[in-house]
Amino acid sequence: DTGVSQDPRHKITKRGQNVTFRCDPISEHNRLYWYRQTLGQGPEFLTYFQNEAQLEKSRLLSDRFSAERPKGSFSTLEIQRTEQGDSAMYLCASSRGTSGGVGYEQYFGPGTRLTVT
């Protein structure tokens, strides 16, 4: 399978704990995105990497959220001191670089479902 993979698929944690999620993009894609999706809503953009550079992080929900892509391949999303409101599906997507107006097609992974108790 050469699609986007995410690990774990499900995470249950107690309020106040830290959690980290991993995303492995499609191998030839240099762009990686994180989204959050709550029940009944469409995905909400969080942050974006081109190779290892994080070009947009202002939409991360608070300073408790951070993301890395140290070698321009896989990425991690960490949430510190989790709160019940952090319960959601966290989605990762990847895409090629753009060329001639195309390349904005983002391919999503299966997501990580976080439940904070």
Q: Provide the minimum distance between the beta carbon of 88 and another protein in the complex, in angstroms, as a whole number.
A: 13
Q: What is the DSSP string of 67-99?
A: EE-TTSS-EEEEE-S--GGG-EEEEEEEEPPPB
Q: Which helix (H) or strand (E) is 74 found in, with range?
A: none
Bridge partners, residue 13, by sequence:
116
Enumerate residues 15-54 that contact another protein by CB under 8 A: 31, 33, 35, 40-45, 48, 50
For another protein, the closer CB: 44 or 76: 44
Collapse the DSSP code of 58 into the 3-class scheme (helix H, G, I; strand E, B; otherwise coil) and give the result: coil
Q: How far apart are CA 111 and CA 117, in angstroms?
A: 19
Figure out which of the listed residues 22, 64, 96, 113 binds another protein, where binding follows CB under 8 A: 113
Q: How far is the CB of 50 from another protein (least distance, A)?
A: 8
Nearest distance in Å: CB 42, another protein: 3
The whole-angstrom separation of Cα 89 and Cα 28 is 25
Q: Which of 55, 81, 115, 117 binds another protein (CB under 8 A)?
A: 55
Contact 68, 76 (CB under 8 A): yes
Query: Which residues would be at the binding site for another protein (CB under 8 A)?
Result: 4, 6, 31, 33, 35, 40-45, 48, 50, 55-56, 58-59, 91, 93, 95, 98, 101-102, 104-111, 113
